Homo-oligomer: A and B are copies of this chain.
Amino acid sequence: MASCDTCLVRNRAICAVLDGDELQSLNKIGRTRNIAAGEALIWEGDDSLLVANVMEGVLKLSTGTGDGREQIVGIVYPADFIGRPFGARSQHTVTALTDARVCTFTRGDFDGFARQHPELEHKLLQRTLTELDRARHWMLLLGRKSATEKMATFLLEMSERLVDASCRATDGPLDHFTLPFGRQQVADILGLTIETVSRQLTRLKADRFIDLPSRRDIVILDRQGLADLTG
C-alpha cells in the first residue's frame, strides 16, 4: 500500500503543507499506480475522474485537432499535480513519456479533502498560478517565435527544468541532459514538424551551440549563444 512516509516527493508536492495526521488521512484515499511509458492516464473530454501527484517519471499534457494534429500543452515532472479538480471535464490527455509512478485520488475524494484543508488548496492555487504563467509564456513562443528561436528557448528551458528530474545534487541549469522526448514530441511542443526540429538541431550542432552525443542527449556548449537566439 501507498505510504507517504517513503514518498520521494513528500517535501516538494502539494502534500508538503500537511502534517502527519492529515497526511495519514490523505494516504487512506490515495492509491499508488504505475504507468508504463506511452500509456495514457486521463483522456481529453473524459469526465475527470481522477487527479494525482507525480512521484516519478515525466508525463505530457496534450490536445489535438480532429484530423490528428497534436499540441503538447504541458509537461509534468515529479512532485507536480495532474488532473482537473472541482467538477470540470478534463480538457487534455495525460500520457506518460517515461515509466512513471503516480499517487492517484478519485476526484470526489480529493475535492472533499481539499475543501477541508485550506492550506492544501492554497498550495494548489500557487502551483496553478505558476502553471498559468508558464502556459502564457509558452504562447509567446508558439505565436511569435521562429523555428530557431523556439528551439533555443526549448533547450534552455529543458536544461533548467530537468535539474530536479536528474540525479544531480547541484543547483543551476544542466549542461548535459537527456530529453524524455523523441523528435515528434519536441515538434508537438514547439508547434513545428519533425523535419524542422531535426534541421534546427543539426544546424545548432554545426554552429557549435550544442552537441548531440546520442538521439536524446543534449550537451549545451554555448549557453550565452543560445540565449542570444531565443528572441
Binding site for B on A (CB under 8 A): 61, 63-67, 69-71, 73-74, 84-86, 88, 91-92, 115, 118, 121-122, 124-126, 128-133, 135-140, 142-145, 149, 190-191, 231
Contacts and interface: CB of A to CB of B under 8 A. Distances in A.
Contacts of A88: 129-130, 133
Given A73-B140, A129-B86, A142-B191, A67 B231 contact: yes
A132 B135 contact: yes
Contacts of A132: 128, 131-132, 135
Contacts of A65: 140, 144-145, 149, 231
Contact of A85 (B84, B129, B142, B144): B129
Q: Copy number of this protein in the oligomer?
A: 2
A225 to B, nearest CB: 16
B142 A91 contact: no
A73 B125 contact: no
Most chain B CB neighbours (cut-off 10 Å) among A67, A143, A145: A143
B66 A143 contact: no
A71 B140 contact: yes
Given A85-B129, A91-B133, A128-B129, 10 more contacts: A61-B136, A69-B231, A71-B140, A71-B143, A74-B136, A86-B129, A91-B136, A91-B137, A121-B121, A132-B132
Nearest to A90: B133
Contacts of A190: 143
Given A122-B121, A139-B73, A231 B129 contact: no
